[in-house]
A and B are shown apart, each in its own frame.
Chain A
Amino acid sequence: MKWLLWRDFTLFKKRGLGGAALYIAMILIYAVITVSFYGVTNSNGESLHDMQTGALTCFGGVNLSTISLVIISFQFDEKDKVKDTLLSMPVSINNYVLEKYIFFYTLLLPLFILGFVSSALGIYSVESISFYTIGIALIPLLYIPISFILDSEKAYLIIIFLSLAIGYLFTQYIYNLIISNALIWIILFSAVTICLAFLSYKASVKYCTKK
């Protein structure tokens, strides 16, 4: 499986503006936006960086751009029709699928780190960042099986729609309801995410070679 990771990261690096360079730029933009709002208030003296704004930004904004760059790698593979060639080499279907998750999460790692740093600096609350982390963690769990069942292009559109919808619903209707018992909900969402991870992996393995 290591050779698959080597392949994915080498390709990511080689794609230049379509890959690693743009990815780093997006991370930097995200960091600048996050930090630049720190301490800024509106005319009523309210912070522009309240929890709702933070959650909305996380779910619906810059992160989607970053994630879209990760998804480009999957789309390139589909365009190059490499799947059958790779699977005809010494790797099991299970490991081939697992590598996709590892690759995706590795590239999302800076987003998680930025979230934790933001929380540590007091820019966002711990609760906000926890929900944000769970939200980001869900994306590969949904995207990877859908990309195997349909294709990466359709999976991308579905994920954008789902992310925006969930982000909007979460910040507008759900967030205020659950924030009073945030810890319980964080534990509950984490448990659901872990279950979903298992189901997502199983579905990906099942559909990896179905098409």
Chain B
Amino acid sequence: MNVLKCQNVCKSYKNFSMENVSFELPMGYVMGFIGENGAGKSTMIKMMLDLVRPSSGKIEVFEKDSIKNSKEIKEEIGVILDTVGFPSMFNTKDINNMMKRAYKNWNESTYWDYIKQFQLPEKKKYKEFSMGMKKKLAIAAALSHNPKLLILDEVTAGLDPIVRDEILDIFREFVSDGQHSIFISSHIISDLEKICDYVTFLHKGKLIFSMEKESLFDTYCMIRCAEEDVEAIPKSAICGIHKSGYGAEVLVKRKDVPFGFDSEPANIEEIMLFLTKHNIGEKI
């Protein structure tokens, strides 16, 4: 079963357009959603949540139409947006009172367990929370109504590595039973690399790829060599190249690595950079 299915989704704004974006997330897996600022990641997330309507195409969540079944779907998903927005005058108790009225499956004891685990103050107002505390509170709220899918937009941004690691552990635990899934967008690619099973890459509103992380690593690799050696690599094999005073870094398709060159595994960040910033042609 696919928990998320986007089919030919298009969205046009005055200075931005998203074209025919399609991908699927099977149940029990984590999908990382990457792309530069303005690539359309937040727009895509908002379309999944029916906060923005697509110009054309279809989005299904739990195999239900995201527009027609919006309210029903939202009962079963936990959402953390990049602009976490709880009322500034509310404290953790008020937020619990609001959430228990909003969600049918709200579990107060789960919520308070997270509040204790994250050491969040009960009486302090939300506006007095630090960035890390706000994110932790959002995570507690997103996880306390037994959601089947988490949709997370820049959830680890602005957090220190220790807190980020703590949060990633919670997400790993969340998907461990194979019945829960996560769709996570982040600029911190190293975080995504740790927890993702699938990677979807959006660039200027276009889908570059959506595939399993392992397939991605099987598809691309890096060659680091002297600048003059680059000539020996067939142009058709080069996906992206970056030359500096220290030599050249070349992203190539693994199957096309020429004889005599040592290849190294490429990480997601390198693949993303070389397919966009250092891209030389069509070989995506």
* Interface presence of B277 (CB below 8 A): no
A84, B46: Cβ atoms closer than 8 Å: yes
* Interface presence of A10 (CB below 8 A): yes
Give the residue of B71, B72, B85, B103 whose beta carbon is less than 8 angstroms from that of A83: B85
Give the residue of B81, B88, B89, B97 whose beta carbon is less than 8 angstroms from that of A88: B81
Residues of chain B within 8 A of A15, CB atoms compared: 89
CB of B95, distance to nearest CB on chain A (Å) = 10
A84, B85: Cβ atoms closer than 8 Å: yes
CB-CB contacts of A74-116 with B at 8 A, as 1s and 0s? 0011011111111111111100000000000000000000000
CB-CB contacts of B65-95 with A at 8 A, as 1s and 0s? 0000011101100010101111111100010
B51, A3: Cβ atoms closer than 8 Å: no
Give the docked Cα–Cα distance between A88 and B79 (Å).
7
B88, A80: Cβ atoms closer than 8 Å: yes
CB contact under 8 A between A87 and B51, given known A82-B87, A92-B70:
yes
A89, B85: Cβ atoms closer than 8 Å: no
CB contact under 8 A between A90 and B87, given known A10-B94, A84-B46, A84-B51:
no
B50, A85: Cβ atoms closer than 8 Å: no
CB contact under 8 A between A14 and B51, given known A3-B98, A7-B98, A89-B102:
no
CB-based A-B contact count at 8 angstroms: 79
A93, B50: Cβ atoms closer than 8 Å: yes
Interface size counted on chain A using CB atoms at 8 A: 26
CB of A210, distance to nearest CB on chain B (Å) = 9
Give the docked Cα–Cα distance between A92 and B75 (Å).
12
Give the residue of A6, A77, A79, A87 whose beta carbon is less than 8 angstroms from that of B98: A6
CB-CB contacts of A10-48 with B at 8 A, as 1s and 0s? 110011000000000000000000000000000000000
CB of B251, distance to nearest CB on chain A (Å) = 36
* Interface presence of A176 (CB below 8 A): no
Residues of chain B within 8 A of A90, CB atoms compared: 71-72, 74-75, 102-104
Q: Which of A80, A81, A91, A93 has the most CB of B within 10 A?
A: A80
Residues of chain B within 8 A of A80, CB atoms compared: 85-88
Query: Considering the complex of A and B, which 5 residue pairs feature the smallest CB-CB distances, nearest first?
Result: A3-B101, A88-B79, A85-B85, A82-B85, A81-B85
Interfacial residues, chain A to chain B (CB-CB below 8 A): 2-3, 6-7, 10-11, 14-15, 76-77, 79-93, 209
Q: List 26 A-B contacts (CB under 8 A).
A: A3-B102, A6-B97, A6-B98, A6-B101, A11-B87, A15-B89, A77-B87, A80-B86, A80-B87, A81-B83, A82-B85, A82-B86, A83-B85, A84-B51, A84-B85, A87-B49, A88-B49, A88-B51, A88-B79, A89-B99, A90-B72, A90-B74, A90-B103, A90-B104, A91-B102, A209-B51
